[in-house]
Amino acid sequence: MKIYTFGHGAQSFEEFLEKINQQNIDIIVDIREKPFSRYHPHFNRNFLEKKLGKRYIFGGDFLGGSAEFHNDLLEYIKNRGKNLENSKNKLFSLIDEKTRQRIFSREPEFSNNEKRKIWITENFLRFYVSPTKREKAIKFLKEKIFTEENKDKIICFLCSEKDYRFCHRYHLLEKDWLKEFPQIKQVFHLEEEFDKKDKLDKGRSSEQKELFK
């Protein structure tokens, strides 16, 4: 069994299909809580069900992340950690003043908003996921995904965020929920695999140009 994760971002359906076919992916598990996109309708649940057929499984009801956390994170970064409007944002109470100052300091670890978002997601997303939700996620994976029938299949977990470092597919699925399944030795990130391939191809192309100078 080989496991991938993938964030579709803004790419076309044709690009997406080419990538999953190149990796011989058998099953796409959609882990978006809300599997709809106003700007990229080719990634809407009904479109994917129609185009992918039995390869597509919707798991967002059990494997979805937290829209609340996503919204809280954007507000927290925008306001530089200060509760200016008496918001119910949980991050304002979860992150103390000393930590807030560090997050918005000039330390290399927090030198831009991208790094701040990654650090906050890694350390605080888990507070938005109840033990009950975790149990339901693991139960769904056991009963619907990692079955005897699928033991030799190549499976890809699909979300919308292109960079896995910002996404629950890394911080919840890979780093926690999948740890309950010892048969999974490694998780690959599909976009990262293609980035490596592109760099390798460019390197070979440069070497060939040098040879023919």
pLDDT, one tens digit per residue, over 127-163 is 999 999 999 999 999 999 999 999 999 999 999 999 9
Return the residue matching tokens 């080719």. Answer: 42
pTM (2 decimals)?
Answer: 0.86
Q: How many whole angstroms separate alpha carbon 22 and alpha carbon 209?
A: 27
- Would you state the pLDDT for residue 1? 87
What CA–CA distance (Å, rounded) separates 9 from 52? 18
Which of these, 33, 35, 26, 15, lies nearest to 56 by C-alpha position? 26
Q: Is the pLDDT of residue 196 over 80?
A: no
Strand partners, 189: 5
> What are the chain's domains?
2-64+133-203 (3.40.1010), 67-127 (no CATH)
Is residue 92 left, alpha or beta, with left meaning phi > 0 and alpha meaning psi from -120 to 50? alpha
